[in-house]
Structure 1
């Protein structure tokens, strides 16, 4: 079984290179900011009191990932944020964060807001798992 490459000079196929590795730069002198990952789920009365939907407090039943990144002495205009299915790439003049996410996310659907008083960037991403239709039906 041989896989044909699009370009004869390529060393690896695109399937062999992990997603996000193109952002990894070990020689970059910028420091890594502090961050916190939490999970969020939408819970209604049918979940809390009756247990009708089968949701539990595990991360397998959470719909969103919330990432809070501390960016002291940073302006909103200095932040560059790139989201892919499994990678969050954040860059500022003083900080750099390449974060491999615990679950695949919908890179087109998400939201980020900068809390300037607290100097925190809050990124909310929708989790995209293969069998979400079972957990959230």
Structure 2
């Protein structure tokens, strides 16, 4: 079953401009930036918001996500079980396999099934390890 909030993702048109805006607003120094060229993603993670990570996402690849879209990422104890449970309930869930630069298994519920919000399912602790470079 899905648990607590893992992080919030915000889709932006220009990562560099968004970082310049959010960095002083959040007041926690420079973000951790990760490039995922195989998915057409540039990511900036701000940590230290009371334990919550805020992720800025710039995409140049094929995606339903647009500037201003929000991703609510929830931790799950067992990703495979949660995907199976949701599919059994009729929810369309996509399984994102790890890639070279984004070595995470994740699940995605699209805006259509997420009532206008993209829901990301993250195995507990994996995003934190990825951001930290572990």
TM range (shorter): under 0.3
**Higher alpha-carbon Rg:** 1
* TM-score normalized with structure 2 length: 0.25
Q: Which structure has greater strand proportion? A: 2
State the TM-score, normalized to the length of structure 1: 0.25
Query: Greater helix share, 1 or 2?
Result: 2
Task: Name the structure, 1 or 2, with higher relative contact order (CA <8 Å, separation 6+).
Answer: 2
